[in-house]
């Protein structure tokens, strides 16, 4: 697989395949008809937030490095011999950064990347390959951030005794977290162009989950730039804060003011809202405050796309997308 991650940083357990390509509008229609989003793929375009990403990376890199250092330290404290298993794609850059931090501390933690999908679960074929390669090690799953906590639920349904580490955990569901605050993790702004040019994973038959290589976007690839910027930044220590209690229920109560009462129609957290604006057709954007540096990009794109924006100072998350 010709991804653009440094080969020493990651081992992927993904096949390449030919997905069913659809437009955003077609995807929304098919999902409403009950089709799994795991079988559909929207072709990626040039990054919407490429300039914003470049402009703010240096600002966010020290904070992100602090989150990486905090999570790495927690894993060190609880596991003598872990194997890191990232959840592609949001977890892949995060775990490369964690592994680099561990190496800086003299630790060599093997790292593998597998796919998981809400409603479909973990790629068990890939997971068995990881266990076979490291039967003596303790698995620590890694993702970038949490939203509703649906990935944690999908892991729990697939594997017993799950340990999940994330950089930002506003849902309060992970085992290890850099912070419980809802903050922007920079690679949430980009998709394939910060993840080795790999597409979102999709189902293909009964074998391993698959991806395509977005070769058309090679000139926009920022994978190495992102990893190096965070790895070389001086970490700014971050307060983990208190684990939140049931933020999804409170967010859903606010969403009810706009006629949204189904949890499948809310996409909370800065990271998930960023992804939803890129590849879904949202109807409203809820923010905790105007003009916050972590959510300014959401305001800008929502206005350009004609998505209504409302502010609720008591919103548990910094941002939440409401779907039609």
pLDDT tens-place string over residues 86-103? 999 889 999 999 999 999
Arithmetic mean of pLDDT, 27-49: 73
pTM: 0.93
Give helix then strand counts, H and E, for the chain: 9, 15
Q: For 140-157, what is the mean pLDDT? A: 94
21 - beta bridge partners? 41
Are 9 and 99 in contact, with CB atoms under 8 Å apart? yes
| pLDDT band at 20; cut points 50, 70, 90 | confident
Q: What is the C-alpha separation between 23 and 147, in angstroms, rounded?
A: 24
Report the relative pairing of strands 40-41 and 82-88 from DSSP bridges: unpaired
- pLDDT band, very low/low/confident/very high, at 305 (cuts 50, 70, 90): confident
Structure tokens at 255: 């969403």
pLDDT at 85: 97
Average pLDDT of the chain is: 91
Q: Token digits for 300? A: 């800008």
In this structure, are residues 280 and 200 in contact, taking their beta carbons and an 8 Å threshold?
no
Rounded to an integer, the average pLDDT of 2-21 is 86
pLDDT of residue 126 exceeding 70, the answer is yes
Q: Is the pLDDT of residue 77 over 90?
A: yes
Nearest to residue 165, comparing CAs of 147, 150, 179, 153? 179
pLDDT beyond 90 at 180: yes
Name the residue with tokens 């799994």: 36
Q: In which band, very low, low, confident or very high, does the pLDDT at 52 lie, cut at 50, 70 and 90? A: confident
Greater model confidence, 43 or 84: 84
- DSSP one-letter code for 62: H
* Residue whose C-alpha is closest to residue 316's, from 207, 217, 170: 170
């Amino acid at each position: 697989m010709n991804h653009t991650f440094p080969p020493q940083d990651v081992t992927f357990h993904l096949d390449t395949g030919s997905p069913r390509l659809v437009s955003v509008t077609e995807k929304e229609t098919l999902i409403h008809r009950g089709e799994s989003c795991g079988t559909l793929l929207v072709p990626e375009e040039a990054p919407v937030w490429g300039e914003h990403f470049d402009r703010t990376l240096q600002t966010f890199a020290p904070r992100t490095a602090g989150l990486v250092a905090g999570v790495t330290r927690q894993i060190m404290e609880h596991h003598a011999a872990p194997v890191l298993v990232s959840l592609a794609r949001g977890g892949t850059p995060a775990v490369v950064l964690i592994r680099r931090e561990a190496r800086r501390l003299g630790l060599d933690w093997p790292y593998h990347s597998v796919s998981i999908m809400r409603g479909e679960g973990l790629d068990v074929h890939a997971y068995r390959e990881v266990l076979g390669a490291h039967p003596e090690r303790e698995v620590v799953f890694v993702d970038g951030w949490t939203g509703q906590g649906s990935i944690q639920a999908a892991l729990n349904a697939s594997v017993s005794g799950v340990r999940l580490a994330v950089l930002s955990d506003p849902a309060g569901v992970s085992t290890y977290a850099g912070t419980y605050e809802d903050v922007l993790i920079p690679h949430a702004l980009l998709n394939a162009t910060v993840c080795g040019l790999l597409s979102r994973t999709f189902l293909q038959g009964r074998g391993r989950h698959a991806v395509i290589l977005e070769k058309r976007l090679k000139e926009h690839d920022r994978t190495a730039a992102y990893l190096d910027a965070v790895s070389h930044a001086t970490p700014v220590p971050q307060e983990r804060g208190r684990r939140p209690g049931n933020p999804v229920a409170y967010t859903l109560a606010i969403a009810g003011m706009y006629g949204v009462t189904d949890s499948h129609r809310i996409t909370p957290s800065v990271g998930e809202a960023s992804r939803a604006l890129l590849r879904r057709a949202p109807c409203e954007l809820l923010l905790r405050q105007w003009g916050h540096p972590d959510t300014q990009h959401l305001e800008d794109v929502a206005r350009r796309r004609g998505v209504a924006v409302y502010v609720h100072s008591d919103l548990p998350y910094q941002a939440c997308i409401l779907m039609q």
